[in-house]
Every structure is written in C-alpha cells, then in structure tokens.
Structure 1
C-alpha cells in the first residue's frame, strides 16, 4: 500500500537565543531538600527549584554520602526515600487538557550507606498507568509526555519488593498544545532516546530547548561517516520545536552508503520514532528512502535550512524484538543520506485505551514539513 502523505503548514519562529530565565509552566522539585532553606535558582539556566514537602506525604529526607556531594548538581545532593507503603505519590499541579513533560531522576549517591544501588528496583506510575521500571538507579532518570486529565496528576513510586524507592528530583514542564500531536487524553508516551546527531555536546537542554527536553550528542557512529554542521539558523517546526542548535549538526553517510538506527527489545513495547531532517545545501540533490523494519519505505529529500520530520504513523512492535531504521540513497541522489536528530518513544498504555475504527486504513509514515 502506498503511504498517504500529510503536509502541515505553520507559521514558524527563529531559534531560541539561549537567554537565561525560567519559562512559565515550569515546576522543579528538589526531593528531600530541607524546607527551611526555601527555593533557589540554578545560576546556569535560571531554573528555580523548591522543596518537595507540599507535593508529597510521607517519606524520609536524606543527603547523599559526603564523597558524592562535591561537584554534584544541587538537586541531586538530596533524596526522598519511601521505606513505608507500597505506593507513594507526588501530586503535581496541572491544567486539565494541557500537555506536559514530567521527568523523575533518582541519583543514589549511597544515601543510605549500604552501597546497594545495583540491587534496587522499583516502578514509576503516571496516575494508574505503568510508566517505567527504575533499575540500578545510580543516576537514572525517566521522562514521560502526557495530557493532564485533572487539576493535579499523581506521579507514583511503587515498591516492588526489591529495595526502597526514592527520588532526587521531579520536574514538570508545560508544553505547547501543538507539540507532539500523537499524545492526547488517552495516549501518553515515555522517552527512550533523544539524539542530537553529529554533535559532540554531551547534553543540550534549557534554555536552548524552551521545554527543557534533553538532547544527547551523538557524533558519527562510524569513522567512515561524516559530521556536518552549519551556522545558519534552521526554521522551527511548531509540532516538534527542535532547537536550532540541534538541527545545525548532522551525520552524513560515507560516499553513497546507508545510515542505520538499530536497537533490540523483546518486551511487548510499541514504539514511535521521529526523525528530523534539514539540509545545509541546496545545490545538489540529496534523496534517500527511509525504511523501518517491514513497514515499507518513504522517500525523503531534506528541506533546505528547514525542519522536516518523518514518523511512523502507528505505534509499532517488532515481532522479533529487533528494530532497524535504514536510510538508503536513491539512484538519482548526488549526495548520501543525512540525519540531524531523532527521538524514540514508547507507548504508555492507559487503562482506558484509545480505540480506533476498524475500517480505517493508516499510512505507514507521516511527513511533517514547513512550507513557506
């Protein structure tokens, strides 16, 4: 079946300039912080952190071990642990119907003096829905995107009998209503990977990303590949708002070879992938086919200094647990495939799942592109 194409036209803005100062809709909680100290501002990005007492009942406040305090980002120097009760929840204030990003970080730091990080395991829930399992939480975080269903949302740590649950920080970021059309009141998703391809910057986040998403640098995975960059501003796609500094780097395949993204997971998880493209030149044809396992292929010519996004339109689970995305040049292409950034998410199943009409046929891919 030939894929159906959906083009969306938006007004776009220029990239963020990186000015320091907290955005509206930011809530940053320093778990286990002494409430007597009050809130404080991180001097690097202007984000304000506050104690967690008003958002959670129960639990114990701890400092990480002295040897882990020096040079530690301040919110990760304390934790709140929950040795009592099976389910302990943070109640986060939200606006019903609004989109949010929530991130929970657990940085062990031997806070209990037991050096037991490798044996700790507990679950995270977004309301009544399973979100993720925290394993060996020496410095682990989990992120979810969702639509709020009430004026507050519970983010819960569930004791599964394999160590005491704890959290170092909980952050909530309100998102634009246009961002990530795939999420809705009955469908949330958790972040698996978010890569800033071709960049040697370890992590890029706020203020360059106004929603404080974290983009991890990934230089060319093979010495035969080539890292590309430009100083030109990349136009913004309001459905994804990838920061211009992320889109200003890319990886290009060697000669006319292919690029691949591959991962394995035999668990019954359904994935959604967003690939971001912007070419830095418009003098030669760059054209390639993108395929995702057996879902077929879609032909892409990255727009010049503009943000094009390619995604599988349905949540996908590979029968064998092996996932391969291949970017293969066409015979007509003068330049090899390139990729600027990509995001991988897993579906958070809801107790009241989204249902779709049985007689509706879905495209293999949706390609979002700005038109001028």
Structure 2
C-alpha cells in the first residue's frame, strides 16, 4: 500500500513537472520575437520571469557599452513592477545608443519606460531627447512625473538593426528603465506614411486592472477608462476575437453606454501636437442579451471628418471600425460621437478604443555597407570612442568624431568619406575591412603601432586621395601599384616607419634577385682569372719554353681547325705541346 502511494505521488510530481515545463514552453512560444530589456539589471541575475506578467526580461548590458546602473529609492519599490526597479543613466557622452537586432519590414510595437525614482538622491528630474536612429522621436521631460512616463510607437524598421538613442540636452543625465519590442501583424495598424505614436489605448471599464500579456498576445497595454457619464455593461460569456486585430477578450468583456440613453456617447481629447494627423480604431462587441423587440444601432461621427452610419455590434463577436486615412482634428481637439439612430431602441455602446498620431522618421540612415564596415573596424581595433554610437553620420550635429560624411539630400543615404584614427592606439596589421568603405577619400592611420606590410588593396580603393601611414612600425616595401597611384596624384605619407622602404628593390625577393644578377658576372670573371693564373703557374714551373714558339699561345682547345694551330693536353703532371695539324702522324 505504501509502495502504491509512493508510486502515485511520483506520478503526480512527474505530471506536475511535465505540465510546468509545457507551460514554460507555451509562454516562451507566445513571446517569440519579443525583446524585453530591464535596463540596469545585473547580467549575472538575468534572465528572469516578471511575476506580474510572466514575461521574460534580460539585462540590457549586452545591448549597450556605456552608462551606469542604479536602483530607484527602496521605498518606491512597491509602486512599480520588477522591470522598472532598476535603470541605466548616462553621465558621459552627448549621445548614448542601444543597438537592437530586428527583422526589417516587420511591424513592431516599441515601448520605452522612464522612471527617475530619485535614484541619485538629488530630487532633480532629468530631461533629454529621445532618438530613433537618426530622427528625433520625442523630448522626455521627467519634471513632476513621479510615476514615470512611457513612450510607445508602432514602427516598421528599414534595416535589420535599430538604434534607440538618448541625447543629453542640459546638465541632467538621460535615464531609461525598460525597452520592450513586440512584433505585430503587418496587416494591422497600416498607415499611408510614417509611424503611429500612441495617444491612448483604453477599454471601457470601471476596473483598475491593466490588460496586457498574456491576455493580449502582442502585449498591447489596455488601460481602463470610465466616467460618471457612462453606464457599464459586463459579460462572462466567451467573445470571438480570432481575427485580424485580436483584441483581448478581457478588454471586450466590458462596455460603456451613455447614462442618458437618448444622449450621444462622447469622448474628446487633444492630440500632441495639436495639428497632428490622427488614426482611430474603435472596437465593438454586443455583450448584452437583447430581447426580440430591442435594437442597437448608431452612427459614428467625428466633426465631419469621419462618419460611419448604421453600426450594429455583432453579438459576442468583435467588430473594429477604423480610419483608413489620417484624420485632422480642429484647434479645439478631437471629438468622437456615437449617435443613436431613430430606429434604435438602445443607446450606443463601445468596448475599447485606440487613438494614434502620425510621427515621421524621414531621414535615411547612413549607407548600410558603410555602417557594417565602420562597426567591423570598431570591433577589429577595439575602439571605445564614446561618440561612436548610433548612426555614424546622422544627425549631422551628432555624427561620430574623426569621421567625415557626404550629404546629398534627405532621400539619399550619407556615405563615409574620411576616417581619422591617428593616435588611436591601433595595433596589429592594416585590416582588409578598410576597403569596404568604398567611398572613402582620406584615410589617416598615423601615429599608432601598426605592424606588417603596406597592403596592396589600398591602391584598389579608387576614391582615396590621401593615405597617412606615418609614425607606425610597418615593414617591407611599398607595393608598386600604390606607388603608381602616387604618381597619379595620391598623397602618400610614410615617414616614421624605420623598416619600411619606398622602393621596390627593398623587397627581400627583389634584393636576392638583384644580388644574383650582380654577383654572377663578377664570379665568372674571377673564375677565369684564377684559371689563367693557375695555368701560367703550372706552365712556368714544369714546361721548358720553346724559343721557336710564337709570343702568344692559346690556352683553349679550338676544335678541328684546318690550319696549323698549337694545342695541348695534360697527362700525369706532364705537358705535351704539339704544333701543326691534328692529322699529322
């Protein structure tokens, strides 16, 4: 009996473990493509699951190389969720940037949270500028915002990387608490141009509960909104939401109608800026059981710029009405009215509402191949210049130091045309990555500790007009094709490299060939002189002179001459001298 109980208990524990593992897998699958960064959180304690949402957060340490970590005041901990208890602040540098890997062309919901929390015990609220790539997104002014502030946009990146930058504008240090990216469907929140900045996203309820992940699979945050002018309706019945916008059931299970059943349902707000173009998304579902003689029908009116007539919400099924083109509100702001039609017996009803303004990010980033090249150069030489963050060339007033760019117009990506890394502590050889800066005109690598030879590829960068390699430890000889470029006008500075020769004969291979060419004929002459000397010595000591011999005697065999010529041969230290034809007997 005990064994049976133990076996049963083991089975239960195993089943619970399997269920837990499955739940973790399901949650992980639901977060596919999510980026959730807890800024300033220790990397050794990362990742973790947010207790309030189940979202997996990681430290931001691997996404930025600058800034310092801090925590909000301890007594404020109970006011905020775990991802907002730490922050990163930036006391150094003008611009500090996060670089995120994203999927180009994917619609993303991008949400940033800023909570000061008196982390520095100064009680001085910071203000700074927020940039998305090369474009200004928003001015962040924390003054009086004890609960922090949040910025959210729906944006489609043009590249597979996204830079989120904080720019100092005064004496206070920029701060950030969390960065959250959520991929959305590409057939939702479609605009004619620009991105969408959230004005509000609310569901009509007198509840205090915020609806987000996992109720909303895209982690859109729905804030409860209600007024004394409304009457609330709720339901526990299931609502069909499985379509394009996939509004969470928790946001549709309540609705509001005007307290005065014959009056219109009115919501008004002021967009920021006041002249901004607006997109609206209105979500309806009939959650009240209607009698056979009851009808709910209404018109949607927005001061003449948006009109939809005869709206009847389907029973327990979501209906979304949205503006296909941006709307322009008047100077007094936006005023939305739901007006009951004459045949309707019930007042208008609405479950949830979203409003966005258009925000433009018009500037094209620096040419992508140049960006990849300069980031590889930065990594190769381990450069830690604090200004080398974000887009290399844009905005112009924040471009990377020691880098020059060409600017044509807003629709043409800038190109990198000069790079000055003089006295930057460079070591190793001259990297081939430099040739990927295809439009570079001036390259200064002087006063470093570069070693090895001057590479031939430098001559292949046709745009180069100046190369400064002086003050290094380069060796060998300068490639001939680079010397030829110098004749064509290239300014080539090489002084201060003691082991570097500017003539082709300095090449060890060339030196060897030249030495052979010089020594070979000299050696031949010397050998001839030695042979003649030896012959004369032997002849003087061992051969009596023939007084009848002519004054000059050849010392070489000349072949079968028809004339009588002297010839000789040696045999056992004797010299035999003959005259006349070789045919003489």
TM-score (norm 1): 0.82
Question: What is the CA distance between 1:145 and its match in structure 2?
Answer: 0.9
Shift of 1:214: 0.6
Point out where structure 2 has 5 or more consecutive residues left out of the alignment.
1-22, 365-585
Secondary structure class of the residue paired with 2:188: coil
Of 259-268 and 54-63, deviating more is 259-268
Give CA deviations for 1:4-37 in whole Å, capped at 9, x if unaligned: xxxxxxxxxxxxx9x9824211111010112222
Q: Is the 1:65–1:109 Cα contact (8 Å) retained in structure 2?
A: yes
Deviates more, 1:206-215 or 1:27-36: 27-36
Per-residue CA distance 1:284-325 (angstroms, 9 max, x = gap): 221111111231521112122221112222222324141100
Q: State the secondary structure of the residue aligned to 2:170.
A: strand
Q: What residue is the counterpart of 1:226 in the other structure?
A: 231
Bigger CA radius of gyration: 2
| 1:351 and 2:362 matched | yes
Q: Report what 2:320 is aligned to.
A: 309
1:332 equivalent in alignment to 2:343: yes
Q: Could you tell me which residue of structure 1 aligns to residue 281 of structure 2?
A: 274
1:238 to 238, 243, 263: 243
CA contact (8 A) 1:130 1:349 kept: no
Aligned position for 2:189:
180
Matched, 1:30 2:41: no
Please say if residues 20 and 45 of structure 1, whose CA atoms lie closer than 8 Å, have aligned partners that are also in contact.
no
Q: Tell me how far apart the structure 1 counterparts of residues 121 and 353 of structure 2 sit (CA, whole Å).
A: 39
The 2-side partners of 1:69 and 1:279 are apart by 40
User: What residue number does 1:292 align with?
Assistant: 302
Pair 1:64 & 2:72 matched: yes
Secondary structure of 1:326's match? strand
Aligned equivalent of 2:60: 52
The equivalent of 2:209 in structure 1 is: 202
Q: Deviations over 1:57-109 (max 9, x none)?
A: 21111121232235642221211012222322211211111111111101111
Question: TM-score, normalised to structure 2's length?
Answer: 0.53
Q: What is the Cα deviation at residue 274 of structure 1?
A: 0.8
Cα distance 1:96–1:321, how it changes in 2: closer, same or farther (>3 A)?
same
Structure 1 distance, partners of 2:132, 2:239, is 35
- TM superposition outliers: structure 1 runs of 4+ over 3 Å: 69-72, 265-268
1:122-144 deviations in Å (ceiling 9; x for gaps): 22222223323322253211111
After superposition, what is the alpha-carbon deviation per residue over 1:194-226, rounded to whole angstroms, capped at 9, x for unaligned?
A: 10112414311110001111101123x125x31
Q: What's the counterpart of residue 157 of structure 1? A: 166
Q: What is the distance in 1 between the residues matched to 2:162 and 2:332?
A: 32
Residue 258 of structure 1 is matched in structure 2 by: 264
In structure 2, the residue matched to 1:248 is: 253
Q: Which has the higher contact order (CA 8 A, sep 6+)?
A: 1
Bigger proportion of residues as helix:
2
Look up the match of 1:8.
none
* Post-superposition offset of 1:352: 5.7
Match of 1:366 in 2: none
Matched, 1:215 2:226: no
CA distance in 2, matches of 1:115, 1:77: 17
Residue from 21, 28, 31 that aligns with 2:27 = 21
**Residue from 119, 124, 131 that aligns with 1:125:** 131
Closer, same or farther in 2 for the Cα pair 1:70/1:247, shift >3 Å? Answer: closer
Q: Distance in 1 between matches of 2:169 and 2:267?
A: 33
Number of equivalent positions:
330
1:363 corresponds in structure 2 to none
CA distance in 1, matches of 2:264, 2:274: 28
- Partner residue of 2:115 out of 96, 99, 107: 107
Change (3 A) 1:352 1:110: closer
- Structure 2 residue matching 1:24: 3-state secondary structure: coil
Q: Which has the higher strand share?
A: 1
Q: How far did 1:188 drift?
A: 1.2
Whole-Å Cα distance in 2 between the matches of residues 303 and 71 of structure 1? 39
2:38/2:57 contact within 8 Å kept: yes
What is the aligned counterpart of 2:175 among 159, 166, 169? 166
Counterparts of 2:111 and 2:359 in 1: how far apart (Å)? 14
Judging changes above 3 Å, is the alpha-carbon distance between structure 1 residues 264 and 336 closer, same or farther for their aligned structure 2 residues?
Answer: same
Mark the runs of 5 or more structure 1 residues left unpaired by the alignment: 1-16, 354-372
Which deviates further from its counterpart, 231-240 or 328-337?
A: 231-240
Distance in 2 of aligned mates of 1:108 and 1:50? 20
1:178-203 deviation per Cα after TM superposition (whole angstroms, max 9, x unaligned): 332337xx521111101011241431
**Matched residue SS, 1:96:** coil
Give the 5 Å matches for 1:90-105: 90-105=98-113
